[in-house]
Chains A and B, each alone.
Chain A
Amino acid sequence: MTVGLPPFELLGRHLIEGSTDCVKLIDLDGRVVYLNSAGIELLDLNCTEDLVGRVWVDLWEGEHQAAARAVVARAMAGERTSFEGFCRTARGADKWWDVVVTPIADNDGIVVQLLTISRDITEKRQAADFRAGQQHVLEMIATGAALDVILTRLVQLVERHSAGMWCSVILLDEDGMHLRRGAAPSLPEGYNQAIEGAAIGPRTGSCGTAMYFGRTTVVTDVLVDPVWEDYRELAVAYGFRACWSTPIFSAQKRVLGSFAMYYPDPRPPLDEEARLVEVAANIAGIAIEHHRTLEALRRSEERNRAILRAIPDWMFILDPNGVFVDYHAKNPADLLVPPEVFLGKAIWEVLPPVISSALETAMAGALASDEPKKFEYSLESDQAQHFYEACVVRCDANRILSIVRDITDRKRAEMDAHVQRRELAHLSRVATLGELSGAMAHELSQPMSAILINAYAAMRLLSQEPVDLAETKAAIEDIISNDKRAGAVIERLRTLLKKGHIAFEAIDLNDVARDVLDLTRSDFLARRISVTTHLAPALPPIDGDRVQLQQVLLNLVLNACESMNASEMHERRLTVTTTTNDGFVRIAVSDRGVGIPEDQRAAVFEPFVTFREQGLGLGLAISRSIILTHGGRIVAENNPDRGATFTCLIPMRPVAATV
């Protein structure tokens, strides 16, 4: 059966010579005694003699030499073994090898030679290296390394993978128009500086053009391609002849920058290079976008911190059980309770029951809706009372934010203003009564006269014979009724002069109108003013303070009288009307006087604006403030023909309250 088969030794030689791996035989001294033809080619040698006779272990460098030595030692001991190592070819190309070393023994089992088969795995190793480098860059992105460090690493990775060129990353400014330095560690610094801040455009070199059009731009020869028109001299000065650049996009396909490869000679890109630049651009895109996101976050946090620093309010973060989790106070020393005391404690362990229950209610409300809930409270400290406003809002499902503002100053001012308003209202009433004093005297003089005259009459009747007892009794009865009449006038005066608290109650504005018209009746007589009333029957009550409402109406009536001083006798007519409409009760005082000067209509309710000869000019301002506290409004209008009408609209008393 041996016919046709070559001898075993011949077969081995064929196999060895036909192998694409580097096959060598090494003697017991470790010297190369045989090298196949594939080996000559792989090691960039001219002939077998270039290697034969050299010690195999010495071909390896550094740590790989040690590994080779160990492998040889084990093979000499009869063990078949392998390793991966790195060595340089005769022309200086770096190559990785997968080496299998097999001992060759004689018939007695004694090792006489070693067979080494080395396979060139450079491409596989490079791909793995690139993957590892890429992985490292992604880790740097994930761990938040500085953008320029990441991009430099990426550029170096690509440069290492593809010899004979330089890479650069250029960023596009957020304005979308200008180049910014990214990373180009191998490009000359002068070139980097020359293009910094340049505008992108259709002929602005490979990068500027790639960004401008948003697509990969390949220039095989800088000297002829119009893309380099604007920067040709610069490129020539730095020795660039070919350059391709691909845009770096964000996830939303916005151009963030470009990744470019520069070559010293004119040439087209290899498929491998074109693929590499795309991969690198993708990674750069991730890095830049991540960096911008972090930057935005950092800026927003900085802004938030700046806002917090500027806000004088206190902030407390609570969990749904009412436990203080965190706080913010510009000056923690201002807190009435130090943070270490309240943090981790529940609100009712720290705050007085009134406040903690109000806070609890607000928290429940805030948790149930997205609406902020507000409440005010006061606390004693340093013998002083402080007022606070808390605004409680839900942060997320299990956190509540309570923003507490010190409103002590505002509260004090409000209280002062309240007192001042009351004082002013009183003063204004006194002033009004001063104006009315003549009318008052007249109003009192009538019953006083009747009393005195009746008393004289009774004296006379009693001194006559026979005494007319019926007439005497009638005289005394008239004395009593007139005294009561005088008493009523005094009582009205006293009410208006009263400096009391405001007491809201159900008020019939018709009663107010009648009271005021009674008080001013003699004034109308003196001024020859005829008064007409149109009082709506069964007027619904409003919620108000009788004295204040009387004051408003008295003021409006006296203003109306004053405005008609110069009017013809028959024109001196004043009308008081009450109506009800749409939840409001309306009371209007209309005159036939001079009206409101057109240029002052807007100002009539301003303090110290007056059309009257007497008076402080506060009447209408105070009237407005009174009507506002009644939830209503006051309006001044000129009548179509002559005079003016002042109208107060006050909401009806809620039905539930009219028990």
Chain B
Amino acid sequence: MVDSTAMNLAVVDDDVDVRAALNRLLRAMGHQVRLFASAEEFAGDGHDFDCVILDIRLPGLNGLELREQTRAAGRCLPLVFITGDGDYLLGDDVPTDVPTLRKPFDEDSLVAALSLVVGSFR
């Protein structure tokens, strides 16, 4: 089981309730979790993570722009996007090579996405 492997995860979401819930679930799964309320806060952190669970719609720099910035800087973040928006709001900007979870998502989807990302990066 992938989830038996403790991972080092980051959650970037401006919604405090969603952040708190993800923190609780991911810790219950045995992972280490760090929480960030914005892309800027995350970018300033400098830690390495096995995977970053990144909300697309954020105040200031959004999820997609954060990814572009890090790619431009030559880094490739292991990412799972989460979003509350429908397709028409997201448009064609969402990269197809990043697993994207529509809020609300279930536990299995989250586990599958994490293992996909972590598996492909390891």
Contact = CB atoms under 8 A, between A and B. Distances in A.
A98 B77 CA distance: 151
Given A457-B24, A457-B28, A460-B28, 17 more contacts: A442-B85, A443-B84, A444-B84, A445-B102, A445-B104, A446-B17, A446-B84, A449-B15, A450-B18, A453-B18, A453-B21, A454-B24, A478-B21, A481-B17, A482-B21, A525-B14, A526-B85
Given A457-B21, A475-B24, A446 B85 contact: no
Contact of A452 (B14, B29, B88, B105): B105
A447 interface: yes
B89 A438 contact: yes
B104 A452 contact: yes
Nearest to B60: A528
9 contacts: A445-B103, A445-B104, A446-B103, A449-B105, A456-B107, A461-B28, A478-B24, A482-B17, A525-B14
Nearest to B25: A457
Given A442-B57, A460-B29, A526-B57, A449 B24 contact: no
Contacts, number: 87
Nearest to A438: B89
B22 interface: yes
B121 to A, nearest CB: 23
Contacts of A475: 21, 24
A40 B82 CA distance: 151
A441 interface: yes
Interface string A428-459: 00000000001001111111111111101100
A450 B89 contact: no
A450 B25 contact: no
Contacts of B18: 446, 449-450, 453
Given A438-B86, A442-B85, A456 B25 contact: yes
B103 A448 contact: yes
Contacts of B57: 442, 522, 525-526
A420 B86 CA distance: 34
Contact of B89 (A461, A478, A526): A526
Kindly name the residue among B15, B18, B84 whose own CB sees the greatest number of chain A CB atoms within 10 A: B84
Contacts of A446: 15, 17-18, 84, 103
Contacts of B85: 438, 441-442, 526
Interface residues of A, number: 30
Contact of A453 (B14, B22, B88, B89): B22
Contacts of A522: 57, 84
B84 A454 contact: no
Given A438-B86, A441-B86, A474-B24, A447 B58 contact: no
B62 to A, nearest CB: 8
Nearest to B102: A445
Interface residues of B, number: 26
Interface string A45-76: 00000000000000000000000000000000
Nearest to A462: B28
A460 B24 CA distance: 10
B86 to A, nearest CB: 6
Contacts of A448: 103-104
A471 interface: yes
A441 B88 CA distance: 12
A95 interface: no
B112 interface: no
A461 B29 CA distance: 9
B34 to A, nearest CB: 17
Interface in B69-94: 82, 84-86, 88-89
B26 to A, nearest CB: 8
Contacts of B89: 438, 442, 526
A526 B102 CA distance: 16
Kindly name the residue among B21, B85, B106 whose own CB sees the greatest number of chain A CB atoms within 10 A: B21
Interface in A474-493: 474-475, 478, 481-482, 485
B8 to A, nearest CB: 19
A383 interface: no
A464 interface: yes
Interface string B3-29: 000000000001101101110110011
